[in-house]
Amino acid sequence: MASKKARVIVSLVLRIFTLLFAAACIVVLILDKATDDDGLKVTFKDVITYKYVVATAVVAATYCLLAIALTLYIVSCLYREEAHSWSFLANLIFLWRQGVVAFVLATGVGAGFLTTAEVKRFLNGLLESFGARLKDTPFEGFFDRGYLATALLAAAFLCMSILSILSAPPDNKASGNKAAGKKGFFFG
């Protein structure tokens, strides 16, 4: 039972870290603003991909809040019979949905990094054609904060993917899985 309790506690800690990283990503992107000398104001709403990054962080944070609540309930009922009645729901929510959330986070990370790099490269080339540099504008900090928010989302993805791996059911004979030694249909 100690191993089961340790797994539940590790999953709780990983969900808390995922929630914190996703919330930090949301805060960084919402507060990310830049104003040029001419009064041109740019926020995360002006870059469509940053909206997607915020949406993926909101999905992850919402999922983690629900999963943390259910995990705390399971930990509180660990030695009672009530915990066994929640096992189907817990498996449904934790195992299958966290893989989906991890892939959603991965798409947000890829989109955020790629868009930030491409837009910075494009703006730098455009400004260099006029004899200016992107580093001399306040937009450099805007995109650096975009990198920071995407890196926080990448940390949330890392926690969620580790959680998906740890939550997968064991596939060995020692765990009582009778089909673990069979090679399958094609390999006899």
Full DSSP string of 17-35? HHHHHHHHHHHHHHT-EEE
Assess if residue 176 is contained within a domain. no
Residue 179 lies in a domain: no
Question: Please, what is the angle between helix 97-129 and helix 48-76, to 10°?
Answer: 150
**Domain that includes residue 142, residue range:** 2-168
Look at residue 184 and tell me if it is in a domain: no
> DSSP H helical segments within the chain, as ranges?
2-30, 48-76, 82-85, 87-91, 97-129, 139-167
Tokens at 154, concatenated: 């990448």
In a structure prediction context, what are the per-residue pLDDT tens digits for the chain, which is 188 residues long?
457 778 778 888 999 999 999 999 999 999 999 888 788 888 889 989 999 999 999 999 999 998 888 777 766 776 666 555 556 666 666 666 778 889 999 999 999 999 999 999 998 888 888 888 888 788 888 899 999 999 999 999 999 999 888 876 665 555 555 555 555 444 54
151 residue type, one letter:
A
Classify residue 147: in a domain, yes or no: yes
